[in-house]
Amino acid sequence: MDPRIREHAKTIATHSTSIEAGDTVVVQLPPAAEDLAVALHEICGDRGAQPVFLSYSQRADRAYKRAADSFEEPAHRRALYEETDVFVIARGGANVTEGADVAPETNAAYNRAMEAVKRERLSKRWCLTQYPTPGHAQLAGMSTEAYEDFVWDAVSIDWEAQGAFQAQLVERLDDAEEVRIRSGDETDLTMSIAGNTAENDTGEANLPGGEVFTAPVRESVSGVVHFDLPLYRYGREIDGVRLRFEDGRVVSHAADRNEELLTGILETDEGARYLGELGIGMNRAIDRFTYNMLFDEKMGDTVHMAVGSAYPETVGETNAVNESAEHVDMIVDMSEDSVIEVDGEVVQRDGTFVFEDGFEAA
């Protein structure tokens, strides 16, 4: 096996999730990622942790969702999750469009049924990462070998140094009241983050990490945003998303491609019409778009926002946590004609932070 797979497993188990003796671990990987499963099982054995190996098959998921009339929370999955300390999940399907023929309302109904067990998982230590497969390489327009290099390089950077770099932004957001994001002609969005917490993501719950993220105050979001980078969701590309917010709520939406899928997402539940996350990418080691949110949203000149559920750890005690069965990240390219303002002060212009070389004050 490629030695970088054992390195990847070690980063997951040590840096991201701190697997130790007595931990019950769920490893959920696609069939192609058996090597990574082997490496993670080795570590579990070595440390006295106990693994259960779930398969992450988008083909099986598609088959189940298409065949079912309705969905309920599965009692056995809940029981498993309740007794699990650590979840390690890797994406890496053979075909990233495997879910392309599942109806949006089916995905919405499925997610509603699974919302509580998902919340259970998110309350534990967890790590979402990527296994490099030909399907994902193809999505990125890369050879499989170059994509392997890309993934394994991205997960193995110096996370301590990355954290120190990001702390500079965390500091500016910590006691801030208002964030305004402007980009081109079509994005001008204002939101309050007063009382909420900015988290410094250095490759724990997401590997790679490399963002600073928080939650907008639910009803405070106002303005328009054009997400000019595409996203893949449920096996389809959604492109050119435009949202208008009033009092925090999406009051109109459009997309250049697969708009009905976007509509389905927004109609999942009331919380899906509110922003649950504002994230600012800061990982300069990710130097190209690969049409994979796990990587793209970490890039240094992007901002992403998610409609749907907020991470409870980002929401202050006096603010409401937005709850939803959905959490869909979308990206704004901030590399040109763009600024991020915090309490009226520019903290990023055209992708360069105020604390980086090359920042232009005006």
Contact criterion met (CB below 8 Å) for 123 and 81? no
State in angstroms the smallest separation of the CB of 132 from a second copy.
17
Q: Rounded to a whole number, what is the distance in angstroms from the first to the last CA of the chain?
A: 51
Q: How far is the CB of 337 from a second copy (least distance, A)?
A: 46
Site for a second copy contains 3 (CB under 8 A): no
Among 5, 13, 19, 39, binds a second copy (CB under 8 A): 39
How many chain residues bind a second copy (CB under 8 A)? 47
- Is 78 an interacting residue with respect to a second copy (CB under 8 A)? yes
> What is the CB neighbour count within 10 angstroms for residue 143?
12
Cβ neighbour number for residue 270 with a 10 Å cutoff: 11
- Residue of the chain from 4, 10, 42, 89 that contacts a second copy (CB under 8 A): 42
Q: Which is nearer to a second copy, 17 or 84 (CB)?
A: 84
Q: Which of 51, 248, 276, 279 binds a second copy (CB under 8 A)?
A: 51
Burial 10-43 (b: 16+ CB within 10 A, else e): ebbbebbbebeeebebbbbbbebbebbbebbbeb
Tell me if residue 191 falls in helix, strand or coil: strand
- Could you count the other beta carbons within 10 Å of the beta carbon of residue 248? 19
Residue of 165, 131, 168, 164 whose CA lies nearest to 150:
131
**Binding residue for a second copy, selected from 14, 20, 63, 160, defined by CB under 8 A:** 63
Query: Between 53 and 359, whose beta carbon lies closer to a second copy?
Result: 53
CB of 156 to a second copy, least distance (A): 21
- Three-state DSSP class for residue 2: coil
Nearer to a second copy by Cβ, of 81 and 150: the residue is: 81
Choosing from 4, 10, 41, 244, the residue that interacts with a second copy (CB under 8 A) is 41
Q: What residues from 81 to 120 belong to the interface with a second copy (CB under 8 A)? A: 82-84
Of the candidates 50, 143, 144, 252, which one interacts with a second copy according to CB under 8 A? Answer: 50
Cβ-contact 276, 308 below 8 angstroms: yes
Residue range at the interface with a second copy (CB under 8 A); choices 47-55, 161-169, 186-194, 260-268: 47-55
Segment near a second copy (CB under 8 A), from 46-54, 139-147, 313-321, 326-334? 46-54
For residue 70, state whether it binds a second copy (rule: CB under 8 A): yes
Is 25 or 293 the residue whose CB approaches a second copy more closely? 25
Buried b (16+ CB within 10 A) or exposed e, 63-77: eebeeeeeeeeeeee
User: How far is residue 170's CA from residue 249's CA, in Å, rounded to a whole number?
Assistant: 26
Q: Which one among 20, 38, 149, 246 touches a second copy, defined by CB under 8 A? A: 38
- Position 4 contacts a second copy (CB under 8 A): no
- Give the whole-angstrom CA distance, residue 170 versus residue 340: 14
Task: Please identify, among the stretches 20-28, 200-208, 233-241, 252-260, the one whose residues bind a second copy according to the rule CB under 8 A.
Answer: 20-28
Binding segment for a second copy among 76-84, 189-197, 227-235, 343-351 (CB under 8 A)?
76-84
For strands 125-130 and 206-207, give the pairing: parallel
| Subset of residues 316 to 355 that bind a second copy, contact rule: CB under 8 A | none
The nearer residue to a second copy, 87 or 311, going by C-beta atoms, is: 87
Please check whether residue 227 is in contact with residue 203, taking contact to mean a CB–CB distance below 8 angstroms.
no
Give CA angle at 113 (215, 115), nearest 5°.
20
Interior CA angle at 310 toward 307 and 315, to 5°? 135
Binding site for a second copy (CB under 8 A): 24, 26-27, 29, 31-32, 34, 37-46, 48, 50-55, 57, 59-61, 63-70, 72, 74-80, 82-84
